[in-house]
Each structure stands twice: as C-alpha cells, then as structure tokens.
Amino acid sequence: MLVRLTLICCGASAASRRGFFPSDEPLEPKAVTAAARLARLVDPADRFLTAPARRARQTAEALGLDAVETPALRDQHYGGWAGLAFEAVERVALEAAQGWLTDPDTSPPEGEPFSAVAARVSDLLDSLVAQPGHTVAITHATVVRAAILHVLQAPLAGFRHIDVEPLSLTDLRSDGRRWMLRSCGLTAPKPRRA
C-alpha cells in the first residue's frame, strides 16, 4: 500500500517576513503570486487539507486547491507573543525567549509548547499512515518541523535546527507501517529577472 503526504508550508505574511510571531494575518501579495508558480509542482492527490489560519487557507486557494480545514495542522499557538517581534519579546522576557528557542516544553505565556505541536502532528501522521493514496496538506513551518522529527524519530530538541522556507514542499512516503522522508525544501522556481 502506497501512502504519500506532501506538506506545503504556507506563504509568508508581512508580519512573518519581519520576524514577528504570527497571528491570523493574510498572505503578503508576492506570496500569492509565488503560490501560483508552485501549483505546477503539486502532484495530483486524493485529498487536500489545510490549517485553519487565513494564510494557510489563502495559500490553498492560490494553489487552486479545494482543501478541508484540519485543526491538527494549525500553527503553534503563540499566546501573548502573537503579533510581537521576537526582539521585543527578548527585551522584556529574555529568559522566556531563550527557553522557547532551546526547550520544546517551554511555551509563550498562555501559548502552546512545541512538544504539544509535536504530539498532535504525531497523532495526525499515525492516522494518515493507514490512508492509501496521496494527501496534500497546507500548513506551517512548525508543523513541518514536527513531522520531520516524527519521521526521523529524532529528539524534539532538534526543532530549532530545521529551517522550513515559506512555500516549500516536504514529501513523506509510507508503506502503511512507517513513514519515510522522501524530500524536503523543494520550492517553486524564482521568476527570471529581465
């Protein structure tokens, strides 16, 4: 039985491009254009899923996908840090910010630790491993990191050492028993400069 999962990291928003913790902001206009270029790299699939955030839904729309909102694909909840620049958080809560960068069990105030994201992503992957066919899921960098660590059976402490570019594809395959990382980091070709 062939099971395939293609994770697509949603496009960037103006806030994420500036290093702010995300809230529910829209895609920046150039991300919509880039997603349209990426569409030709997305193979046909049996099902399309999307995280509930506006930037994920807009990415799915720009790709021309009719995707079902799936709560397990949601981004990490940044609580009181949502909408703030990382540097601003460091200025007022240096120890908490540093802990968040190194400890997967540290969460923003009233937020969610990476370990909770990893647990829900592991549950999702465990459920999808039994679904034959190809699933395409539009999600967030944090979710893609969690999926990679799950597949590699790597310690969660490695979460900050995985860079996931906006609008990149990560391809996972399974024989119905275990997941394998097939490829990651593929992006749409950049437009040629005149």
Q: Give the whole-number percent of the chain exceeding pLDDT 90.
A: 84
**Nearest alpha-carbon partner for 3 in 32, 46, 35:** 46
Q: What's the CA gap between 153 and 103, in Å, rounded?
A: 17
Q: Which two tokens stand for residue 115?
A: 């370990």
DSSP 32-51: HHHHHHHGGGSPP-SEEEE-
pLDDT score recorded for residue 186: 76
Query: Per residue in 58-100, pLDDT tens?
Result: 999 999 999 999 999 999 999 999 999 999 999 999 999 999 9
Amino acid letter for position 43: D
Write down the pTM of the prediction.
Answer: 0.94
The pLDDT tens digits of the residues spanning 29-52 come to 999 999 988 998 899 999 999 999
The answer to whether the CB of 166 falls within 8 A of the CB of 100 is: no
Residue 125 has pLDDT above 90, yes or no: yes
Residues in the chain: 194
Residue 166 has a pLDDT of: 95
CATH topology of domain 3-77+113-187: Rossmann fold (3.40.50)
Residue 41: predicted pLDDT: 87
| pLDDT at position 136 over 90 | yes
Cα–Cα distance for residue pair 141/145, rounded to 1 Å: 6
How many C-beta atoms lie closer than 10 Å to residue 39's C-beta?
12
CA–CA dist 12, 144 (Å, integer): 15
